[in-house]
Amino acid sequence: MVKVKKNLSVVMLLVLSMFLYACSSGDEESASGEGKVTLDFWVFGATNYEALAEEYEKENPDVTINIKNSELGDHHDSLFTSISAGTGAPDLTMIEVDQLDRYREAQDRFVNLYDLGAEEIQDQYLDWKWKMAENGEGDFLFGLPTDIGPKAMYFHTEVFEEAGLPTDPDKVNEMISTPEQFKEAATTVLDKTGKPMVDSMEMAFRANMDALEVSYFNRDGELLIGEADNGVKEAYDYAVDLHEQGVVGSFEMWTPEWANALNQGGFAVEMAPAWLKGYMTENAPEGAGKWRVTTLPTDFAGNWGGSYVAIPSETKHSEEAYKFAKWMLSPENQLESFVESGLFPSAPEVYEMEEFVNNSDEYFGGQNTAAYFAEAAKEIPEVYKGPKYVTVNNEVLTALRNVQEGADPQEEWEAAVERIEGLVSR
């Protein structure tokens, strides 16, 4: 009886060993891209990535892609928690450009896409967009470029007409090609129409802020805002100047009052990225046909928004994840994302494609607005924001709102710097 039990134990051990070996072999096959693979992909916002994932699954029947879509803030908080804990991270994830530097100190928690051959496709993307995803030494790539947010100048034709200003986009660009000319045009609009040129202090500030290559921090993590020649102070002062000139409105972005002003032409200009077009089309229907787009003064050339697709190092399927990301973000599929969801391409090859060149926006009077955003995209500098960019930036915006309510600009600036220094030193 003892001998039978002993033999049975040996058999069970053999079976268990074979089972574990099979599981191990299956994992190795999945990790190397052979066999069936399931990829978890975390995204945020309105994209067409679900549709592209379905298309990829049809072409690659051994791959299943599970997409989780969250609000931007929740998405990044969950990602940061999972990579910090070393468990629960997806195989692929979007990272918004303003959030990217938050993860640089956790470089070891991501796959270096250069190790997967990403340098072979580098020339497909705008150089500044690609470089922003590298580490300081340039030998580690955090993610592949998705969309971008090149800024341009949306202007209300009826307000410009009432002010006696041109309404042809190219002529408007000739008239307003410098920050000083912008101020002059703003004065004309106010004098002739009684309306502000710009909707809010934030947008007046961002005119210069989004164009800064270095703002709050340098790449060594040092806080720069207290230095005399810091560009953030110049951007702050420009916004204050416009406010004192009386040409800044009090229409805070995303509020009902702001949407109504877009509808009714409550201000003349919105200095904003390409993605705003979608919001205007859906939320300011009465403004249809009354808005146009032209390029901003070169000094204001900047980017607001856009993302990357990164691969957390926790994944067991890095090669398959990269293969999917490379396919999804190819120029051809970036064109599809542009057409279907308005995601502005980071691959300049798209700007020459027929469907892009012949694109027209009915809301903007049939204008090909994409051409102006594409021109703007080529002028954008590579910028560094720093891991606490969002937190620090909010303090400056608070100061500007206080100025608009009557506070002293210099006192508010000094108070914001003090708060920021305290936040950063924690």
Query: Residue 318 class from Cβ within 10 Å (0-12 exposed, 13-18 middle, 19+ buried)?
Result: buried
**Nearest of 137, 135, 173 to residue 152 by alpha carbon:** 173
| Distance from C-alpha of 333 to C-alpha of 96, rounded to nearest angstrom | 19
Answer yes or no: is pLDDT of 26 > 90.
no
| Distance from C-alpha of 202 to C-alpha of 252, rounded to nearest angstrom | 8
Confidence of residue 101 (pLDDT cuts 50, 70, 90): confident
Greater model confidence, 21 or 104: 104
For residue 302, what are its two tokens? 């900047």
* Half-sphere exposure for 304 (CA within 13 Å, toward CB): 20
Confidence of residue 387 (pLDDT cuts 50, 70, 90): confident
Confidence of residue 9 (pLDDT cuts 50, 70, 90): very low
- Phi then psi for residue 92, to 5 deg, are -140, 150
Cβ neighbors of 191 (< 8 A, separation 6 or more) are: 163
For residue 74, give Cα distances in angstroms to 77, 80, 83, 312, 398. Answer: 5, 10, 14, 17, 23
At 304-349, the pLDDT tens digits run 999 999 999 999 999 999 999 999 999 999 999 999 999 999 999 9
Confidence of residue 34 (pLDDT cuts 50, 70, 90): low
DSSP summary character for residue 198: B
Answer yes or no: is pLDDT of 137 > 70.
yes
- Phi then psi for residue 116, to 5 deg, are -100, 5
- The structure tokens 């978890």 sit at 40
- The structure tokens 């039990």 sit at 5
Answer yes or no: is pLDDT of 35 > 80.
no
Q: Containing H/E element for 420? A: helix 409-425
Query: Residue 379 class from Cβ within 10 Å (0-12 exposed, 13-18 middle, 19+ buried)?
Result: middle
Min mean pLDDT across 26-30, 182-186, 372-376 is at 26-30
| Distance from C-alpha of 67 to C-alpha of 81, rounded to nearest angstrom | 19
- The structure tokens 């006192």 sit at 411
Confidence of residue 28 (pLDDT cuts 50, 70, 90): very low
Share of the chain above pLDDT 90, in %: 83
Answer yes or no: is pLDDT of 22 > 90.
no
Confidence of residue 29 (pLDDT cuts 50, 70, 90): very low
Exposure string over 223-248, b if 16+ CB within 10 A, otherwise e: bbbeeeebbbbebbebbbebbeeebb
Confidence of residue 382 (pLDDT cuts 50, 70, 90): confident
At 203-261, the pLDDT tens digits run 999 999 999 988 999 888 899 998 888 899 999 999 999 999 999 999 999 999 999 99
Global confidence as pTM: 0.86
Contact 45, 72 (CB under 8 A): yes
The per-residue pLDDT for 4 is 41
At 266-285, the pLDDT tens digits run 999 999 999 999 899 989 99
Handedness of CA 49, 54, 56, 60 (dihedral sign): positive
| Distance from C-alpha of 76 to C-alpha of 73, rounded to nearest angstrom | 5
Greater model confidence, 423 or 19: 423
Contact 179, 238 (CB under 8 A): yes
- The amino acid occupying position 366 is G
* Beta-strand pair 269-273/63-70: unpaired
- The amino acid occupying position 171 is K
Answer yes or no: is pLDDT of 396 > 70.
yes
Outline where 32-103 has alpha helix (H).
49-59, 72-85
Average pLDDT over residues 371-388: 90
Answer yes or no: is pLDDT of 381 > 90.
no
| Mean pLDDT, rounded, of the chain | 91
Q: Containing H/E element for 257? A: helix 256-264
Strands (E), 218-321: 269-273, 291-294, 303-310
The per-residue pLDDT for 19 is 42
Share of the chain above pLDDT 70, in %: 92
At 166-211, the pLDDT tens digits run 999 999 999 999 999 999 999 999 999 999 999 999 999 999 999 9
